[in-house]
Chain A
Amino acid sequence: MMSERYLNAGVLIALLIVPIWAHLADAPYTITLATRVAILALAAVGLNIALGLGGLVSLGHAVFFGIGGYAMGVLAHHAQTYTALDLGIFTVDGTKSMPIIWLVAVGTSAVAAVIIGALSLRTSGVYFIMITLAFGQMFYYFAISWSTYGGEDGLSIYLRNDFPGLNTLIPIQFFAICFAVLSLVLLLQAGVSRSAFGLALNAARQAPTRVEAVGLNPKRLQFVAFILSATITGLAGALFADLNRFVSPSMFSWQFSGEIMVFVILGGVGRLCGPVVGAAVFVLLEHVLGGLTEFWHIYLGLILLIIVQFARGGIVGLLATDRGQHG
């Protein structure tokens, strides 16, 4: 048992040390696993802002993950085929620059979140879950039928995109980028949860009528949280596509929406590093048990069952001495 602050530091240091060790031991596959953890964690950190801080059970966050993925796929595809991207009114060139791709991923995710959020937030509870799920399915089937960009087969990108000053094809360097983005986002989240907005959002989740009674609009607070949340998951999508150098409609699948929700619950809803722990445990189980049996999800399900039954604060809640906002 330790304070959550130390636990968070420990989690991030562990996530940093493993790939450094793997780099020195020349084990690139382990670095890739760690990179996968960092990116999936980032996607779940995004969801945790909607779910953990805002109380919005979104079963459609794969939409933003997919949008981020396709932002990368489309831009890199046009860059590698030297074709212009026709936007109707004007055309732009593709790009292999990660920072530009990230901006586009964040921007398009935000636009999608404004539309989806404005419609979904008219409902709550089960209906909110269903509407977000429905949006996810719409995007999924749209991607499947989008033949310009590979339809069901997806898009392959031959070379990883560029980041100024780094060689992204070297696994440890790409890991460093993903880890830095994750750390920065966690830092921002920690700041936001201590801010005026964070206080009001937290209250809007727990006691919405109380928030109204002091003259604030709980839905509007949740709406902004939903948009913030979507941009982070969108950014993760762009990184994920770069990790695999491949984008496909499966990034939009509802299974993925469920998976990142599992990360959040496993690690601890509303806990800063809950999603990181959750994603790490998931990737580890997938790697270790996945080698033993094809049906490793059974064991994941069992663990999830135990967590939900006996440790509502998730793994972080179990290990940290601080009481969480959900415990």
Chain B
Amino acid sequence: MADPILETRGLSKSFGALKASDDISMTLKPGEIHALIGPNGAGKSTLIQQISGALQPDAGTIALMGQDVTGHSMQARAKAGLARTFQISNLVMKDTVLQNVMLGALGASGRVWRFFSPILSNQSLLDVAEHALERVGLHDHRDRRTDELSHGQRRQLEVAIALTLKPKAFVMDEPMAGLGADGSKRLTGFLDTLRNEAPILLVEHDMDAVFALADRISVLVYGRIIATGSVYDIRANPDVRAAYLGDEA
């Protein structure tokens, strides 16, 4: 079996008496989409924040490509190849769409200490940025200001920025949220091919998307992973049905 790209071991995080993450060990293997599901307040976002480096765990370790990155900043993890999309769009709202993806391309190139040559005439960065926009279907909107975009388009832009980083692993926090049926369907198709470039840790509420995409699903309830398995296993798991899926499954 291939070594995992991303691995957490015994991750724990408490806020006062609340155990938001309770001894979480999970892996993300090459080529897979590993979906993380669970009811609201189960600790999905807390886990994502620890993995991306926005929060420090109280205990446990996080490894990226076998390297311990537990103490690393979000910035260092991004450099090491972890691309994150945010649950609430985190974009440079008063910049254009193109400038936002250029920022990603610039971050990946690391050549930020250039004070005079205009960045929008840097052809190699421009190519990376425009290619990413084309792939998510935003190229026609490249010159619009980001705050003029619809909610769904902002979600697409989040994904486009992640693409420019050419990451080793994606961590996506509810990329389908608010997309509508059509948008979800299109993004589902896109993520399906994206897994071949880098595995995706996917937090998602849209069960149709999760069941269509996930190679493995982990179910988080009260900060604990109560089950990990294939779509079939999870659908059949009585604990999961009781805790989360209810009649929906």
A residues apposed to B, CB below 8 Å: 191-192, 194-200, 202-203, 206-207, 209-217, 221, 224, 323, 325-327
Contacts and interface: CB of A to CB of B under 8 A. Distances in A.
Contact of B118 (A194, A200, A327): A194
A122 to B, nearest CB: 15
8 contacts: A191-B116, A195-B114, A199-B106, A202-B95, A210-B161, A213-B52, A213-B78, A214-B104
Interface in B158-176: 161, 164-165
A198 B113 CA distance: 9
Nearest 8 A/B pairs, CB to CB: A214-B107, A215-B78, A215-B79, A196-B114, A215-B107, A212-B74, A194-B118, A203-B92
A203 B116 contact: no
B108 A195 contact: no
Contact of A214 (B106, B115, B145): B106
B16 interface: no
Contacts of A198: 115, 119
B78 A207 contact: no
A221 B145 contact: no
Contacts, number: 108
A297 B31 CA distance: 67
Contacts of A325: 94-95
Nearest to A221: B112
Contact of A215 (B75, B114, B119): B75
B90 interface: yes
A257 B37 CA distance: 53
B91 interface: yes
Interface string B97-129: 001101110111011111111111010000000
B74 A209 contact: yes
A252 B228 CA distance: 64
What is the interface residue range for chain B against chain A? 35 or more
Given A214-B165, A215-B108, A192 B115 contact: yes
Contacts of B100: 203
Contacts of B86: 209-210, 213
Interface in B78-93: 78-79, 83-84, 86, 90-93
A260 B106 CA distance: 33
Interface of B: 52, 54, 73-76, 78-79, 83-84, 86, 90-95, 99-100, 102-104, 106-108, 110-120, 122, 145, 161, 164-165
Contacts of B145: 323
Contact of B92 (A192, A197, A206, A327): A206
B156 to A, nearest CB: 15
Contacts of A202: 92, 95
A207 B92 contact: yes
Contacts of B113: 196-197, 224
Contact of B103 (A194, A199, A209, A217): A199
Contacts of A213: 52, 74, 78, 83-84, 86, 90, 161
B119 A194 contact: yes
Contacts of A326: 94
B76 to A, nearest CB: 8
Contacts of A196: 106, 111-115, 117, 119, 122
B95 A206 contact: yes
Most buried by A among B90, B92, B108: B92
A190 B214 CA distance: 48
A221 B145 CA distance: 23
A226 to B, nearest CB: 15
Given A195-B118, A200-B103, A214-B78, A207 B112 contact: no
Nearest to B93: A206
Given A213-B90, A215-B110, 4 more contacts: A196-B115, A200-B112, A210-B91, A210-B161
